[in-house]
Amino acid sequence: MSLVAEFHCLSDHDPDALAVDQARAFIRSQLAPLQTRERVALRSALGRVLAGDVIAPFAVPAHDNSAMDGYALRRADLSQVAGTCLRVVGTTWAGKAFAGTVAAGECVRIMTGALLPPDCDTVVMQEVVAVDGDEIIVPPGQRPGQNVRRAGEDLAAGKPALAGGRLIGPAELGLIASLGVAEVSVFRRLRVAFFSTGDELCSIGTPLGDGEVYDSNRYTIFAMLTRMGCEVLDLGVVGDRPALLEEAFRQAAAAADVVITSGGVSVGEADFVRDLMATLGEVLFWKIAMKPGRPMAFGRIRGAGEGAPGAWLFGLPGNPVAVMVAFLQFVRDALYLLMGADPVPGVPLLPAVSAVALKKSPGRTEYQRGVLADGRVRPAGAQGSGILRSMSDANCLIVLEHGRGNIAVGDPVSVQLFDGLL
């Protein structure tokens, strides 16, 4: 079934306003992860996606060890009703096994991470112990096995430490390093080409002519793609002429897995671009029930030759804020899916309370730039989709769902934090 046919099979499809959740689900239903893999040095794996399980070559921890500084002892030696006097017969440090033995009525000073002596089963933290020379008094109430990290409690030898599909962040990098693994198999980086369309756009470094504006969209798209770890190809600004656009699309599709454009998909331009794309691939133009970002295209550009894979296309709006909002709501998840991330790290929704009254009409999802502090959120100034400063002043998006109406002061709302995204 063609892309267009599948799109029109969507239940409750409204050609004039596709709901955000429907659009997001349809995009994800069309995509499959790239399968090309490569082995890279561990430090080069940051931000990449694991292409296979990382197997623990040994148990972690490898031995029973102390979770804190204190005293290692035998729980059976302790009184249940009164303090117990024990003799300290030595000290054991992290990285070295205790060479002696611990007899009844004895204990060992132990440091965090040090191996638990074979004769001991419990560690008492140093803060609760009274010290008198080479003896200590242990208060009653100690639990068997307390403050002990057991061998294999984090990872069992021969079992997956991390599953394929995991996005490698700092914690994952450290975990892999703790296993002594120097190289990992990852999916290759996603290649993304992008360009802006519009005769009114001017590249920075060039004097502005009458009616021209500097193109900011390529810089925000570049930044968001780079933050995700993609290989990026910037094709610049392309004028509103069919021959130029066709060449840009062909060049982008030949070089990349995904093509992202900004501008050129509004209602007035849709027929022109649709005719062009009919010769290059299969693309749907949507009026999505959202603000900002109502016009957006998704589809596929055919490869130039027999067997050429082609590229996925995301045609984003031209207004700077709409570009960023549409990228976060649709493109980001799609790119992670193509990268092989499983699960896809979607943009989380967090609860907040509105500090002001907000106007909202049911029937579309709205994303307002907001400032969140102490659980309360307010708009970050004017909400026009061309006001890019509002994205810089904000620290979140206020997400007002499709069916909601006006928001009163104190009403619960959901937010998407920019931290880690932008």
Q: Are 412 and 353 in contact (CB under 8 A)?
A: yes
Burial class (CB in 10 A: 0-12, 13-18, 19+), 399: buried
pLDDT score at 313: 95
pLDDT score at 277: 76
Tell me the three-class secondary structure of 30-47, residue by residue: HCCCCCCEEEEEHHHHCC
Q: Phi first, then psi: what are they for 247, rounded to 5°? A: -65, -40
Token pair belonging to 283: 């693309």
Q: Are 218 and 236 in contact (CB under 8 A)?
A: yes
The DSSP H or E segment spanning 326 is: helix 320-326
pLDDT score at 13: 47
pLDDT score at 387: 85
The CA R_g of the chain, rounded to the nearest whole Å, is: 30
- Give me the residues of the chain with pLDDT under 70, please: 1-16, 266-274, 307
* 352-397 pLDDT, tens digit each: 999 999 999 999 999 999 999 999 999 998 888 878 888 999 999 9
Q: Cα–Cα distance between 387 and 401 in angstroms, integer?
A: 22
Residue count of the chain, please give it.
Answer: 422
Token pair belonging to 346: 């979607």
**What is the residue whose two structure tokens read 């934090």?**
417
Q: Are 311 and 253 in contact (CB under 8 A)?
A: yes
Q: Cα–Cα distance between 194 and 335 in angstroms, integer?
A: 14
| Among 325, 421, 314, CA closest to 30 | 314
DSSP 3-state assignment of 128? helix
pLDDT score at 1: 61
User: Quick check: pTM over 0.85?
Assistant: yes
DSSP 3-state assignment of 325? helix
pLDDT score at 303: 83
Token pair belonging to 360: 């909202």
In 10 A of CB 79, how many CB atoms? 12
pLDDT score at 384: 84
Q: Are 332 and 31 in contact (CB under 8 A)?
A: no
DSSP 3-state assignment of 126? helix
Q: Cα–Cα distance between 244 and 351 in angstroms, integer?
A: 46
* 278-297 pLDDT, tens digit each: 789 988 878 899 999 988 88
Which domains, from first to last, does the chain contain? 3-36+189-339 (3.40.980.10), 38-60+153-187 (3.90.105.10), 65-149 (2.170.190.11), 350-417 (2.40.340.10)
Q: Where on the phi/psi map is residue 74: left (φ > 0), alpha (ψ -120 to 50), or beta?
A: beta
pLDDT score at 398: 98
pLDDT score at 422: 80
